[in-house]
Amino acid sequence: MSELATDRRTTPNLSAGEGSKKSYWSKLGYGFLYLILSAFAVIQIYPLIWLVFFSLKSNQEVFGMSPFSLPQDPQWGNYVKVWTQGNIGVYFFNSVWMTVLSVFLTVILASFVTFAITRMHWKLSGLVLGLFMVGYMIPLHSTLIPLFNFYNTIGLIDNPLSIILSQTTFNLPLTIMILLGFYKAFPREIEEAAVMDGCSVHRIFFQITLPMTIPVLSTTAIINMIYNWNEFVFVNTFISSDQWKTLTIGINNFVGQYLTDWGAIGATLVISIVPILLTFLFLSNKIVEGMAAGSVKG
Amino acid sequence: MSNKYIITLYTLPALLLLLVLIYVPIALSGYYGLMDWTGIGQMQFIGLENYANLMKDEKFWASAGHSFLLGIFSVLSLLLYLAVSLVLVSKIKGSDFFRKIYLIPMLLSSVAIAQLWLKIFDPSNGMLNKLLEMFGVENTPVWLADPNTALYAIFVPIVWQYAGFYILIYYAALKNVPEEIIEAARIDGATPLQIALKIKLPMISAVFKVTIMLSLVGSLKYFDLIYVMTGGGPNGASEVMASYMYKEAFELNNFGYASAVGFGLLVICLGMTWLTSRLTKSNDDVQY
Amino acid sequence: MKKKAFSAVASLALVGGLVLGGCSSSSGTSEDSSGSGGDKTVVKMMHLWPEGSAKAQYTIVNDIIKNYEKEHPDVDIQTEILANEQYKEKIKVLSASNELPDLGITWAAGYMQPFVEGNMFAPLDDVLDGGLKEQFVPGTLEAFQTDSKTYGLPLELNIAPVYYNKEIFKKYNLEVPKTYDEFLKVVKTLKDNDVTPITVGNKDRWTGSMWYMYLADRIGGPETLNNAINRTGSFEDPALEKAADELKKLVDMDAFVKGYNGFSNDEAKGYFMNEQAAMYMMGTWELPNYTTSPDVAQDFKDKVGYFKFPAYEGGKGNIDSFVGGPGVGLFVSEASKVKDETKDFVSYLVQEWGKRSVTEAGVIPATKVDTANTELAQMYIDILNDLGNASNITLYADVQMSARVADVHLNQIQALYGGEISPKEFVKAQEEALAAEKK
């Protein structure tokens, strides 16, 4: 059996030898389809372009002109301001490592749980799954003050651990539920064959299940990454010193008592979207590649 | 496979985190719900008074209605996202490109999305009304400022915000369907539409059910854009349960009651989930 | 253990860096503080002037802290800075856990009341004794008093004039209105010429409330609204209903920018700043935008003037009465373990702030300003004169009221602007809310 992903050269998403003899009507249909797809694409890419324009505008332009106008006099100063005022470098670094750590913890812990629930038979599995599902329904703001008290008691206020633990835990239910849908659909034959061969459970989990689930792992990693990267409430509540704040707080550095510097906020938003955009593009390829690796073509 | 040691090892870390960081706090919150407490200083035990008040609080039920409506729109929008994913996963040219583009909005933080849509909805300078004026519409709506339109207007960015999320999940799920099965069907002469409806869809029904629940519960406890874009207004027209709870707790110094609202939200989520799981149970667990 | 020591050093170094201000890397102070961090008295302070959006205030506070620490080498003042909304939210969480910082920012009256009742704020009357009290503009401290004890020292004093675009007025031959009738004519002329007369961001609600408050003041005199709120009078007073009726008339003649109920103050302000609306009522914290702010074109600043809300014929109020009041103030936590040191610092801070805030940050302090020795833009001098001659300043209604009643008031304001309710219903709902709370 495939030890690890080796054969990833198949490119299933290109139209290969399909359109040989298409009728006139089907061509028209495809044209129409592409028209819709492209229109939708414009709608979806537009926010990013808008954001870049936004970050180059002055406050006056942000609120006066049509939101579609180009910045008349690009305010590159917004970026300079963002880099020099406030500790954006520190915030950036904190965002990166806290996000990476939280995503890793969530995905691996959720995989363990999902594996145990779907691949093993035990009495309480339904109850455990239920606990996680209910966990997803709990509104965050209800837990905020008790959580603050808890961290305060154990001395984790103003400690990045409080952020990582909170982000990890609050994303676990969602991640487990997504994984669950996929695990249910995954063929069990391979794992069962491995059991026959006398593989230990750990070996099966790490060497068969995890590699097989790379597409869904990438999917949940992307979702977790976006959530953690944009997470705000925990950092604002549990962190007080500048040294542990993240980019989302950096954005609020430009919201004032009476005056808000929208251009600078735009610039911070643009800066903060670059790393997740790149990571997203990378992970997004993994979804497809992982498929090729996981499929049982032999 | 059955091994108590391994099961404990695999589930305990996550379970501990869940219990300590989510269940203990929510239990405490339920306890605060029994208190008359401003959130500042002493609290006073008042039994079930907050919960009794909640039952007859018109504002709460109105906001629950709004949340529920959002849930319906969100769940319906899943069909659209599923359709898009089905197109993307079929082997058409450029699907990879389209897929990546489609997911971009989900990377944006709520701050950015809120600003964008506030600009779109701006009654005088905004894109939407400019567009309507181009088509000769007079007396263009004021969208977020009008109690009759605010709620529906704000649903649009909320539902749109999650497009990428669900397309991503559906795409991964559809990619998961083994090629052999599709190939076999194709050899048997199935059309692409038949393959999509008869083979792919049943194969991802487990995932689809999960997303129904995610989107329903996510809608019922939705908070972000409402808070930033309308603050629940005008005059409560776009208030949802979570924003109502937030307002009671952090703006109106009514922490005990807010905790009761949070509990009410949880109970409604539970009820709705139970209901949907009953409704979608019919053809459960398609496995192969 | 080691780790803890490291983080202590790191955080101290960081505070040292903050105190130095900006991004200067000279490390004299930070070495000092990290060297002797153990036996210093640490005073924790939270404020809401981030460097990015309120650089002037941020710098003033940092300078004051630096100077104070120089004079008191045994005190180490650590700041935590949050943006406005986040500040309010965090203060709630902290007070629920009884973990307030030693020193922080509060708002007056209705906002402060629950903290006082919960015994969270320390009375500051001992700080005021010995001359400090006399430095405050009369009336400002009162907003921070409960049962004749003072729980906050105000840092700002604002009034709300109506700013207008002189060029637009000139174009349509409009004069600054002295009476409400003249004002209505201005509105009508502008409307006839397809110019938005007034911009107001009534999603924030307190913005629309100010217009109502002025009408209530001009028609019923300053006492009527105050009495209704402090329950010596009724909100169903004919003057208060008439004010609502006048406001409704303004709404009906399309005086306000289209979509006002959906705009935040910032969005609505954009219409004024981009000369799409002729008038805009806002607190004097806006003055930097029309005088000193480097981000606004001089060309625009020259076009902006202001006028006092016009008098109402037959009304009891006069034109020198203002809506406004002290903005934020400083509180000292009752639970603070370093209360004496904090009180000493708060007294120093409020005085130093008073000397510098108007010239450097354009913030009018609640302490008396010596205009003779300072160079100020003309508009500031005019406003300070008006402030000196003010017959009355009515504190923002939503600040006077408790949070719950304020919410009713603000929702009613939005509904009145939205044409959802009649003036009669408007006053009735607020009377009921006020009466219910009194019980």
- SS3 string, chain B, reads CCCHHHHHHHHHHHHHHHHHHHHHHHHHHHHHCCEECCCCCCCEECCCHHHHHHHCCHHHHHHHHHHHHHHHHHHHHHHHHHHHHHHHHCCCCCHHHHHHHHHHHHHCCHHHHHHHHHHHHCCCCCHHHHHHHHCCCCCCCCHHHCCCCHHHHHHHHHHHHCHHHHHHHHHHHHHCCCHHHHHHHHHCCCCHHHHHHHHHHHHCHHHHHHHHHHHHHHHHCCCHHHHHHCCCCCCCCCCCHHHHHHHHHHHCCCHHHHHHHHHHHHHHHHHHHHHHHHHCCCCCCCCC
Q: What is the pLDDT of residues A262-277, one digit of tens each?
A: 888 899 999 999 999 9
B43 touches chain C (CB under 8 A): no
Sort B280 into a burial class: Cβ within 10 Å, 0-12 / 13-18 / 19+. middle
Share the mean pLDDT of chain B. 89
B26 vs A138: CB contact, 8 Å cut-off?
A: yes
pLDDT of residue A114: 95
Nearest CA in chain C to B123: C259
Quote the percentage of chain B above a pLDDT of 90: 48
Chain C residues close to B249, C-beta within 8 Å: 92
Residue B37 placed within a domain: no
CATH code (residue B166): 1.10.3720.10
* C-beta of residue A292 within 8 angstroms of C-beta of residue A214: no
pLDDT of residue B93: 82
pLDDT of residue A21: 52
Is the fold of C40-156+330-369 the same as that of C159-325+382-438?
yes
Q: Cβ contacts of residue C10 below 8 Å, gap of 6+?
A: A243
Chain B residues 169-198 within an 8 A CB cutoff of chain C: none
Q: What is the pLDDT of residues B75-104, one digit of tens each?
A: 999 999 999 999 888 777 888 888 889 888
Count CB neighbours of C335 within 10 A. Answer: 14
Chains with at least 3 CB pairs less than 8 angstroms from chain B = A, C
Chain C residues close to B146, C-beta within 8 Å: 261-262, 418
Q: Identify which has the larger pLDDT, A58 or A178.
A: A178
Share the mean pLDDT of chain A. 83
Least Cα separation, residue C100 to chain A (angstroms): 12
* C-beta of residue C258 within 8 angstroms of C-beta of residue C191: no
Candidate from B9, B26, B93 with C-beta closest to A142? B26
The pLDDT of A205-234, averaged and rounded, is 90
Beta strands in C48-150 (DSSP E): 75-81, 103-106, 145-146, 149-150
Read off the amino acid at residue C410: L
A206 touches chain B (CB under 8 A): no
Closest CA to C398 of C411, C389, C409, C386: C409
Read off the amino acid at residue A200: S
Which of C32-41, C198-207, C404-413 is predicted least confidently? C32-41
ipTM: 0.88
CA distances from A267 to A264, B70, C22, C171 (A): 5, 32, 20, 38
Q: What is the pLDDT of residues A103-124, one digit of tens each?
A: 999 999 999 999 999 988 888 9
What single-letter DSSP state applies at residue C174? P
The three-state secondary structure class of A270 is: helix
CA atoms of C416 and C428, how far apart (whole Å): 12
Read off the amino acid at residue B245: M
Closest CA to A40 of C117, B99, C277: B99
pLDDT of residue A66: 65
Homologous superfamily, domain C159-325+382-438: Periplasmic binding protein-like II (3.40.190.10)
* C-beta of residue A250 within 8 angstroms of C-beta of residue A91: yes
A142 vs B14: CB contact, 8 Å cut-off?
A: no
Candidate from A145, A243, A249 with C-beta closest to C10? A243
Q: What angle do CA A141, A145, A223 make, to 5 degrees?
A: 40
A41 touches chain B (CB under 8 A): yes
Sort B186 into a burial class: Cβ within 10 Å, 0-12 / 13-18 / 19+. middle
Q: Are strands C304-307 and C321-326 parallel, antiparallel or unpaired?
A: unpaired
Sort C167 into a burial class: Cβ within 10 Å, 0-12 / 13-18 / 19+. middle
The pLDDT of A251-271, averaged and rounded, is 84
Candidate from C88, C120, C261 with C-beta closest to B234? C261
The three-state secondary structure class of A109 is: helix
pLDDT of residue B69: 96
Confidence at A290, pLDDT banded by 50, 70, 90: low
pTM score, whole prediction:
0.87
Domain C40-156+330-369 CATH assignment equals 3.30.1490.20: no
pLDDT of residue C25: 33
pLDDT of residue C13: 36
The three-state secondary structure class of C326 is: strand
Q: What is the pLDDT of residues B215-226, one digit of tens each?
A: 999 999 999 999
Q: With 60 as the cut, is the pLDDT of residue A147 above it? A: yes
H or E, element range at A255 = none
C261 vs B249: CB contact, 8 Å cut-off?
A: no
CA atoms of C24 and C56, how far apart (whole Å): 17
Residue B157 placed within a domain: yes
Q: How many CB pairs below 8 Å do chains B and C form together?
A: 95
Sort A197 into a burial class: Cβ within 10 Å, 0-12 / 13-18 / 19+. exposed
CA atoms of B51 and B256, how far apart (whole Å): 10
Q: Cβ contacts of residue A188 below 8 Å, gap of 6+?
A: A119
Chains with at least 3 CB pairs less than 8 angstroms from chain A = B, C
pLDDT of residue C9: 37
What single-letter DSSP state applies at residue C357? I
Q: How many domains does chain B have?
A: 1
* Phi, psi for C158 (deg, rounded to 5): -130, 150
Residue ranges covered by each domain of chain A = 86-294
Task: Report chain C's C-alpha Rg in angstroms.
Answer: 23
Quote the percentage of chain C above a pLDDT of 70: 91
Q: Is the peptide bond before B234 cis (omega within 30 degrees of 0)?
A: yes
**Quick one: CA dihedral A77, A82, A83, A85, positive or negative?**
positive
CA atoms of C89 and A258, how far apart (whole Å): 17
Q: Around C14, how many Cα atoms within 13 Å sit in the side-chain half-sphere?
A: 18
Nearest CA in chain A to C328: A257
Q: Which of B32, B40, B133 to mutate to test the interface with C (most CBs of C within 10 A)?
A: B40
Bridge partners, residue C370, by sequence: none
C418 vs B144: CB contact, 8 Å cut-off?
A: no
Residue count of chain A:
298
Q: Around C401, how many Cα atoms within 13 Å sit in the side-chain half-sphere?
A: 27
Q: What is the pLDDT of residues C139-155, one digit of tens each?
A: 889 999 998 899 999 99
Count CB neighbours of A70 within 10 A. Answer: 10
pLDDT of residue A67: 61
CA A15 to chain centre: 29
Q: What is the pLDDT of residues A61-80, one digit of tens each?
A: 777 666 667 777 788 888 88
In order, the DSSP letters of A21-56 are: T--HHHHHHHHHHHHHHHHHHHHHHHHHHHHHHHHT
Nearest CA in chain C to A81: C52
Which of A235-239, B27-31, C10-14, C36-40 is predicted least confidently? C10-14
CA distances from C412 to B145, C406, C424, C428 (A): 14, 10, 11, 10
C276 vs B124: CB contact, 8 Å cut-off?
A: yes
Q: Which tokens hold the place of B47?
A: 């039994």
* C-beta of residue B232 within 8 angstroms of C-beta of residue B223: no
In order, the DSSP letters of C243-257 are: HHHHHHHHHHTT-BP
In order, the DSSP letters of C261-292 are: GG--HHHHHHHHHTTSEEEEE--GGGHHHHTT
Q: What is the pLDDT of residues B274-283, one digit of tens each?
A: 998 888 875 5
For the domain spanning A86-294, the CATH number is 1.10.3720.10
Residue B256 placed within a domain: yes
Residue count of chain C:
439
Q: With 90 as the cut, is the pLDDT of residue C10 above it? A: no
Read off the amino acid at residue B208: F
Q: With 60 as the cut, is the pLDDT of residue B44 above it? A: yes
Closest CA to B146 of C259, C256, C163: C259
Q: What is the pLDDT of residues B146-168, one digit of tens each?
A: 999 999 999 999 999 999 899 99
